[in-house]
């Protein structure tokens, strides 16, 4: 039996009062902890999913909506933009990289994103099975999508227009799952990734007629061989039609040349013609893509100065809208923060009530135990030990309130996460510790100690002879 055990025994003497005090403090602690954890998880998810993207470019509308839809896939897009129009900015010297996304469809609530491999790279996406989509109507799915929908390699499905599952199904163009990503704890887990051309095809844009098509519609410089290979292997029907016309023109041209330079360097001239023919095909292939629409462009700056000039330039000089994720998310968190602030204030009142209740309980028990304290002094306890005895009681009540509050908060969040499963825009878990929780625990312990100080001091100051004489 020591003083700590004696403190515990004293608290157990009035179980109802002790339980009520702990419950009150648990409620306050749990409420604040839930807000802190939620804020932490949301901020972490927003930062993680932003993937260092500096600018989101899309159709005019709400900049926040543009960022939420284009970067976090948590809102409907503001509209589509011409790839040709976006190309101007993709090739801007202040842009290091720009990734086009074509949105609009979903499967069982998970968004289908037409893009290229660069998009997967910004989230360090790794394939658990299969390969990345390279042919039309091939699709790779995130880990959460795989778990929630049960789709596996080789499975086929039709996308639905919109995100709510109420849109019409594109039954005529079914996707085939060719890859499944490993879990990355990013938005990639909840997406279905296909090529831009597949999205264009599904939406009935003028379709290329070949098996494969160039999916690297970024501003990355392309090798001539790649372009040539693409032109060879991926010519569309439209391109082929154009090609016949071109061949005709080319033959006309050839005849003219033959007529005019019949005797001059026939081999050399033939090479020039082939080169010109290849160039035409490349231009026509590009022209097909440029005529298509995308939804957003995810831009990384080449230089910090771009942050000052590029958004304004895009907004002023084009029909497009540029939104900075950092700015918009800060604004969003500020708006959310106001609500969170009110909730925290309410929870703080709960905590303050609990701390006052602890003070009242200790003070009341002190009055009832004055004789016990005097007897303890007679048994050899020092004044400091009496001080510690009361302080222990306050700290035990506070610690129990904190522990139960934190267990309730973390457990509640984990249960909610399990209940909601993978169908969340921002996945969360209770098995996380927000750094601000350290501040909460420290603050509450300090409050608990403070609430115990007056009763502890009174215990310290117990006048033993007088107390014994009055007993």
Tell me whether residue 59 or residue 381 sits nearer to other proteins (CB atom). Answer: 381
H helices, E strands: number in the chain: 16, 12
- Residue by residue, DSSP assigns 58-87 as EESS-HHHHHHHHTS--S-----EEHHHHH
Burial of 410 (0-12, 13-18, 19+ CB in 10 A): buried
Tell me whether residue 203 or residue 377 sits nearer to other proteins (CB atom). Answer: 377
Tell me whether residue 5 or residue 330 sits nearer to other proteins (CB atom). Answer: 5
Tell me whether residue 126 or residue 384 sits nearer to other proteins (CB atom). Answer: 384
Provide, rounded to whole angstroms, the least separation between the CB of residue 355 and other proteins.
23
- Are 397 and 361 contacting, i.e. CB atoms less than 8 angstroms apart? yes
Backbone φ/ψ region at 130: left (φ over 0), alpha (ψ -120 to 50), beta: left
- Residue 189: CA count within 13 A, CB half-sphere: 19
CA separation for the pair 110, 329 (Å, rounded): 22
CA separation for the pair 283, 200 (Å, rounded): 19
Tell me whether residue 330 or residue 371 sits nearer to other proteins (CB atom). Answer: 371
Burial of 167 (0-12, 13-18, 19+ CB in 10 A): middle
* Site residues, other proteins (CB under 8 A): 1-2, 5-6, 9-10, 12-13, 371-372, 374-384, 464-465, 468-469, 471
Token output for 43: 């901020």
DSSP 8-state class, residue 140? E
CA separation for the pair 119, 56 (Å, rounded): 13
Tell me whether residue 72 or residue 392 sits nearer to other proteins (CB atom). Answer: 392
Tell me whether residue 281 or residue 377 sits nearer to other proteins (CB atom). Answer: 377
């Amino acid at each position: 039996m020591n003083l700590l055990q004696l403190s515990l025994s004293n608290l157990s003497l009035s179980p109802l009062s002790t339980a009520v005090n702990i419950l009150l403090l648990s409620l306050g602690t749990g409420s604040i902890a839930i807000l802190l954890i939620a804020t932490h998880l949301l901020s972490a998810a927003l930062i993680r999913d932003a993937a260092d993207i500096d600018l989101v470019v899309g159709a005019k509308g709400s900049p926040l909506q543009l960022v939420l839809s284009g970067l976090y896939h948590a809102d409907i897009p503001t509209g589509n933009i011409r790839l040709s129009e976006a190309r101007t900015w993709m090739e801007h010297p202040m842009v290091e990289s720009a990734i086009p996304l074509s949105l609009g469809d979903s499967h069982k609530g998970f968004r289908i994103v037409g893009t290229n491999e660069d998009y997967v790279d910004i989230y360090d996406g790794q394939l658990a099975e299969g390969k990345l989509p390279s042919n039309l109507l091939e699709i790779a799915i995130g880990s959460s999508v795989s778990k929630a929908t049960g789709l596996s390699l080789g499975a086929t499905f039709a996308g639905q227009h919109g995100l709510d599952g109420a849109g019409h199904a594109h039954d005529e163009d079914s996707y085939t799952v060719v890859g499944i990503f490993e879990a990355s704890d990013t938005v990639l887990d909840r997406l279905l990734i296909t090529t831009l051309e597949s999205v264009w095809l599904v939406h009935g844009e003028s379709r290329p007629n070949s098996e494969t098509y160039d999916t690297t519609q970024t501003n990355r410089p392309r090798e001539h061989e790649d372009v040539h290979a693409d032109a060879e292997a991926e010519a569309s029907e439209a391109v082929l039609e154009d090609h016949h016309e071109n061949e005709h023109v080319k033959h006309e041209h050839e005849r003219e040349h033959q007529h005019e330079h019949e005797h001059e360097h026939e081999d050399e001239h033939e090479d020039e013609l082939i080169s010109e023919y290849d160039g035409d095909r490349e231009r026509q292939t590009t022209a097909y893509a440029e005529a298509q629409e995308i939804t957003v462009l995810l831009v990384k700056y080449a230089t910090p100065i771009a942050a000052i000039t590029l958004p304004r330039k895009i907004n002023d000089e084009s029909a497009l809208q540029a939104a900075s994720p950092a700015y918009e998310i800060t604004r969003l968190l500020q708006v959310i923060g106001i609500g969170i602030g009110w909730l925290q204030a309410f929870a703080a009142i709960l905590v303050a009530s609990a701390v006052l209740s602890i003070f009242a309980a200790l003070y009341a028990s002190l009055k009832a135990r004055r004789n016990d304290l005097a007897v303890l002094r007679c048994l050899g306890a020092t004044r400091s030990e009496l001080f510690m005895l009361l302080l222990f009681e306050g700290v035990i009540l506070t610690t129990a309130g904190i522990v139960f509050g934190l267990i309730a908060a973390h457990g509640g969040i984990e249960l909610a996460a399990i209940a909601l499963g993978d169908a969340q825009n921002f996945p969360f878990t209770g098995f996380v510790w927000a750094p601000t929780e350290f501040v909460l625990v420290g603050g509450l312990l300090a409050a608990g100690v403070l609430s115990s100080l007056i009763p502890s001091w009174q215990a310290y100051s117990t006048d033993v002879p007088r107390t014994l004489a009055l007993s």
